[in-house]
């Protein structure tokens, strides 16, 4: 796989059972690139390791006064020098290719998983963790994949040099053969504490990232209540904890690096001392001593890769674990077709929408409003109605919502998304123009202008026209900043609602679509929304009396179950639980009102 061939046509199905298994799967998916990198690495490292042989020939030629020997030594050094240069160049090229292609594969997998889960992803995994996986973790995983082949080449070179020295000069070769494994294994006792400190650092960094993303997302609200300094202080404390953890981790890795420098130095001193003693006894020549000395000195270079692979694995293992946890998320009970965003859309299901977990029934073609006393329950209900049944705290399966009697979780994802559209409480607007925002797959029944009118976006169009860089002030060509940060919360909600109306799905689920809108605007939207969705199934999760009064059917969910059905006026006068949720009436106020009603009846 070359960089120019990215993105992958099919990034594959990852092994998400654990972090190490995910890393092994990544390496297995890139065997071709790994073998290329291994081959060039062997050329590079073995050429470096062979340089002392040429130096030894030159020393022997000088001692013997043979000019021919010097010529042979020069030729040997030239050949190995070319091997060093070419091997280093191609090793770097193939290693970087492995790194980039591995990172690209992980990013494609994450993008595919995000597309499959949609808004359900951030309900199952913290937003900060998703950000950490898609940025820093991808880089660390790629580092391990590209370092693996270099380490393998270095390990093979070390073994080859030890064997060659044992054959070339057995007396000194034994010392090297015994000492090198000690060098390679000496840092193993230090790796567990270093790994723990690195994990602690990443945990602190993940919390700081999550805090930062939450602060940025709620910056407008924080400014409104004067809470910037409070959250700034929290982030400052979190960043200091990250710094302290990073310093403790760096100290341990510095100790490992010091050991990697000290022990080869001690081995080199021991080889020189013993070699000089053997030379004095006449058991080895000066050229042989210089050859062994040079070989041991140059062994320090491939031995550095033992430390690198240890660091790469220590840093990438928790990163791979987080990536595997995100990539392992599935739509409950979905098969292969139902878990793939590009699955074949055979038949778009139709009929009544039913949630077995609560007993909620939304008849086909009816505007149904749902009142939930618990806002979190409303979010989970919207997720289920969109075909994503989460697991509860006991990890027990939650029954899937049914559309026309068919379980949404068992249908192909493309078919579910063609049938049901869920608009979250906090919808996201991507950067681009208004025309691009409304350019979504649709039935063509509702135009962009009609959708904007139904969502009461007149003031939004005026604001975009004033900000337009076009001579004619066309608001549809005005760019909207990322997540619509240049707009107010109510303006973002109304644009998102217009986008949903343009899509015109058979089933539209809206979670508090007007929570950031003033009462006057909400009243206008309530009347137009029912008209725009005439003949289509619409479910609005809300406690707004204005929206509830415009619904054809209202369902009250209390204690995770549908307990009352009727119109807004019927439930408002006939069900105290409904009235308490909608009017925010306290127990004392309810008792006082009941007393007044009783007195009026007697009068």
Dump pLDDT digits (tens) for 155-167.
Answer: 898 888 888 888 8
Of 284, 312, 327, which residue constitutes the final position of a domain?
Answer: 327
Kindly state the average pLDDT of the residues 423-429: 83
Element at 355 (helix H, strand E): strand 353-355
Task: Please compute the mean of the pLDDT values over residues 330-349 and round it to a whole number.
Answer: 53
Q: Is the pLDDT of residue 120 over 70?
A: no
Query: How confident is the model at residue 393, as a pLDDT?
Result: 42
Task: Look at residue 339 and tell me if it is in a domain.
Answer: no
The pLDDT confidence band at residue 541, using thresholds 50, 70 and 90, is very high
How confident is residue 377, by pLDDT bands cut at 50, 70 and 90? confident
Q: Which of 268, 293, 327 is the last residue of a domain?
A: 327
Residues 32-62 pLDDT 10s: 889 999 999 999 988 888 888 787 788 878 7
In whole angstroms, give the CA distance from residue 385 to residue 539: 9
Flag whether 208 is in a domain: no
Q: Which range, 113-117, 461-465, 492-496, has the best average confidence (pLDDT)?
A: 492-496
Q: Are 465 and 478 in contact (CB under 8 A)?
A: yes
Are both 387 and 452 inside the same structural domain?
A: yes
Half-sphere exposure of 495 (CA within 13 A, CB side): 32
Query: 323 and 362 share a domain?
Result: no
**What residues form DSSP beta bridges with 421?**
508
Question: What are the start-end ranges of the H helices in 389-488?
Answer: 413-419, 434-437, 448-454, 458-467
> What would the mean pLDDT of 305-321 be, rounded to a whole number?
82
Question: Average pLDDT for residues 279-299, to the nearest whole number?
Answer: 79
pLDDT at 554 over 90: yes
What values do phi and psi take at 556, rounded to 5? Answer: -100, 125
Residue 555: which CATH number? 3.40.50.300
Domain boundary among the residues 276, 310, 327 is at: 327
- Whether the Cβ atoms of residue 293 and residue 268 lie closer than 8 Å to each other: yes
Q: Do 278 and 427 fall within a single domain?
A: no
Domain of residue 119: give its range.
9-196+245-327
Choose among 100, 158, 159, 537: nearest CA to 362: 537
| Contact call for residues 538 and 367 (beta carbons, < 8 A) | yes
Query: Does 365 score more than 90 pLDDT?
Result: yes
Q: What is the pLDDT, as a whole number, of residue 126?
A: 64
313 and 404, same domain (yes or no):
no
164: three-class secondary structure by DSSP: helix
Residue indicated by tokens 């209202």: 554
Cα-to-chain-centroid distance, residue 554: 39
Q: What is the pLDDT of residue 65?
A: 76
Directed axis angle between helix 31-64 and helix 138-168, to 10°?
40
Is residue 389's pLDDT more than 70? Answer: no
CA 458, CA 344: separation in Å to the nearest integer?
39
Distance CA 478, CA 491 (A): 15
Total structural domains in the chain?
2
List CB contacts of 215: < 8 A, sequence separation 6 or more. 222, 231, 235
The residue with greater pLDDT, 23 or 374, is 23
Kindly state the helix (H) or strand (E) to which residue 369 belongs, with its residue range.
Answer: strand 367-372
Q: Are residues 376 and 315 in the same domain?
A: no
Same domain, yes or no: 272 and 387: no
Do 455 and 572 have their domain in common?
yes
Q: Which of helix, strand or coil describes residue 184?
A: helix
The CA-based dihedral angle spanning residues 574, 579, 581, 582, taken in that order and rounded to the nearest 10 degrees: 120
What 3-state DSSP class applies to 353?
strand
Do 292 and 172 touch, CB atoms closer than 8 A?
Answer: yes
User: Residue 387: its pLDDT value, please?
Assistant: 81
- When mean pLDDT is compared across 36-50, 56-70, 483-497, the lowest value belongs to 56-70
Quick check: 232 pLDDT over 50? yes
Q: Exposed/middle/buried for 413, CB within 10 Å: 0-12, 13-18, 19+? A: buried
The verdict on 401 and 318 lying in the same domain is no
CA 316 vs CA 140, 257, 477: distances in Å: 5, 19, 44
Q: List the single range of 167-176, 419-428, 480-489 with lowest mean pLDDT.
A: 480-489
Most confident of 35-49, 272-286, 340-354: 35-49
Q: Is the pLDDT of residue 601 over 90?
A: no
Radius of gyration of the chain (CA): 34
What local confidence, expressed as pLDDT, does residue 340 receive? 46
H helices of 389-532, where?
A: 413-419, 434-437, 448-454, 458-467, 489-503, 519-532
Q: Decide if 543 is inside a domain.
A: yes
| Residue 515, in any domain of the structure | yes
pLDDT digit string, tens, across residues 434-443: 888 899 888 8
- What's the CA gap between 472 and 480, in Å, rounded? 17
Task: Give helix 228-280 / helix 286-327 axis angle, nearest 10°.
Answer: 150
CA distance 162 to 175: 9
Query: What are the two backbone dihedrals, phi and then psi, of residue 599, each rounded to the nearest 5 degrees?
Result: -65, -40
Residue 217 is predicted with a pLDDT of 59
Residue 36 maps to a domain: yes
Looking at residue 552, what is its pLDDT?
A: 93
What whole-number distance in Å separates Cα of residue 522 and Cα of residue 543? 12
The answer to whether residue 492 is domain-embedded is yes
pLDDT value, residue 336: 41
Residues 290 and 371 in one domain: no
Query: Nearest to residue 349, comparing CAs of 401, 400, 408, 389?
Result: 408
**Band (342; pLDDT cuts 50, 70, 90):** very low
| Over residues 185-209, mean pLDDT | 78
Q: Is the dihedral of CA 161, 166, 170, 173 positive or negative?
A: positive
- Shared-domain flag, residues 316 and 357: no
Are residues 317 and 416 located together in one domain of the fold? no
Q: Which of 18-22, 199-203, 344-348 has the highest mean pLDDT?
A: 18-22
Q: Which residue has the higher pLDDT, 467 or 368?
A: 368
Q: Are 418 and 309 members of one domain? A: no
What pLDDT does 354 receive? 94
Is residue 62 assigned to a domain? Answer: yes
CATH of the domain at 320: 1.20.1560.10
DSSP annotation string for 549-573: HT-SEEEEE-SSSEEEEE-HHHHHH
pLDDT of res. 219: 56
* All residues at 6 or more sequence positions from 133 whose CB lies less than 8 Å from its CB, including other chains: 110, 319, 322, 323, 326
Q: Is residue 80 part of a domain?
A: yes
Average pLDDT of the chain is 82
Helices H, strands E: what count in the chain?
Answer: 22, 12
Sign of CA dihedral 17, 19, 20, 25: positive
- Measured at the CA of 368, the angle between CA 364 and CA 371, to 5 degrees, comes to 145
Nearest partner of 454 among 524, 549, 517, judged by Cα: 524
Residues 6+ away with beta carbon under 8 Å from 237: none
338 pLDDT exceeds 50? no
How deeply is 386 buried, as exposed, middle or buried, from its count of CB atoms within 10 A (0-12, 13-18, 19+)? Answer: buried
Per-residue pLDDT tens digits for 235-253: 788 888 888 888 988 888 8
In this predicted structure, the answer to whether residue 597 has a pLDDT above a threshold of 90 is no
Beta-sheet strand order (sheet of 367-372): 420-423, 507-511, 537-541, 367-372, 553-557, 562-566
pLDDT surpasses 50 at 88: yes
> What are the C-alpha distances in Å from 213 to residues 163, 209, 210, 273, 516?
55, 6, 5, 60, 21
**Residue 448 phi/psi, 5° resolution?**
-60, -40
């Amino acid at each position: 796989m070359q960089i120019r061939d990215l993105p992958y046509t099919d990034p594959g199905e990852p092994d998400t059972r654990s972090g190490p298994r995910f890393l092994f799967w990544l390496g297995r998916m890139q065997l071709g690139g790994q073998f290329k990198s291994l081959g060039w690495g062997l050329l590079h490292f073995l050429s470096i390791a062979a340089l002392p042989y040429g130096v030894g020939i030159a020393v022997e030629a000088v001692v013997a006064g043979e000019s021919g020997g010097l010529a042979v030594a020069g030729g040997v050094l030239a050949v190995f020098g070319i091997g060093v240069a070419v091997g280093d160049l191609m090793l770097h090229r193939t290693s970087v290719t492995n790194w980039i292609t591995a990172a690209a594969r992980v990013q494609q997998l994450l993008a595919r998983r995000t597309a499959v889960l949609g808004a359900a992803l951030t309900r199952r995994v913290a937003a900060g963790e998703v950000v950490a996986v898609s940025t820093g973790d991808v880089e660390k995983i790629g580092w391990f994949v590209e370092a693996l082949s270099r380490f393998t080449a270095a390990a093979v070179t070390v073994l080859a040099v030890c064997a060659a020295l044992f054959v070339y000069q057995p007396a000194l070769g034994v010392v090297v053969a015994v000492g090198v494994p000690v060098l390679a294994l000496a840092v193993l006792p230090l790796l567990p504490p270093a790994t723990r400190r690195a994990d602690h650092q990443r945990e602190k960094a993940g919390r700081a990232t999550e805090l930062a993303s939450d602060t940025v997302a709620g910056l407008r609200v924080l400014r409104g209540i004067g809470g910037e300094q409070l959250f700034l202080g929290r982030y400052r404390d979190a960043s200091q904890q990250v710094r302290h953890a990073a310093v403790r981790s760096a100290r341990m890795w510095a100790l490992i690096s010091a050991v990697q420098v000290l022990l080869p130095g001690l081995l080199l001193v021991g080889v020189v001392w013993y070699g000089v003693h053997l030379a004095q006894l006449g058991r080895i020549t000066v050229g042989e001593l210089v050859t062994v000395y040079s070989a041991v000195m140059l062994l320090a270079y491939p031995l550095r890769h033992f430390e690198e692979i240890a660091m790469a694995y220590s840093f990438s293992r928790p990163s791979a674990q987080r990536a595997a946890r995100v990539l392992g998320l599935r739509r409950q009970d979905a098969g292969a077709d139902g878990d793939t965003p590009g699955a074949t859309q055979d038949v778009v299901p139709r009929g009544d929408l039913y949630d077995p977990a609560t007993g909620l029934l939304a008849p086909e073609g009816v505007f149904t409003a749902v009142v939930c006393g618990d806002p979190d329950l409303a979010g989970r209900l919207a997720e289920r109605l969109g075909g994503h049944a989460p697991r509860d705290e006991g990890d027990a399966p939650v029954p899937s919502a049914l559309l026309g009697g068919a379980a949404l979780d068992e249908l192909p994802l493309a078919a579910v998304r063609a049938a049901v559209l869920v608009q979250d409480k906090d919808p996201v607007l991507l950067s681009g123009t208004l025309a691009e925002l409304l350019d979504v797959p649709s039935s063509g029944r509702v135009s962009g202008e009609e959708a904007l009118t139904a969502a009461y976006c007149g003031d939004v169009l005026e604001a975009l026209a004033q900000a337009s860089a076009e001579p004619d002030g066309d608001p549809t060509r005005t760019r909207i900043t990322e997540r619509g940060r240049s707009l107010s919360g109510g303006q973002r909600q109304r644009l998102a609602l217009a986008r949903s109306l343009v899509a015109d799905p058979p089933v539209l689920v809206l979670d508090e679509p007007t929570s950031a809108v003033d009462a006057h605007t909400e009243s206008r939207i309530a009347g137009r929304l029912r008209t725009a969705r005439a003949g289509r199934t619409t479910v609005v999760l809300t406690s707004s009396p204005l929206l509830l009064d415009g619904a054809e059917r209202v369902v009250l969910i209390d204690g995770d179950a549908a307990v009352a059905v009727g119109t807004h006026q019927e439930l408002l006068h006939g069900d105290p639980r409904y009235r308490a949720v909608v009017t925010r009436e306290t127990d004392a106020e309810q008792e006082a009102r009941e007393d007044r009603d009783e007195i009026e009846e007697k009068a």
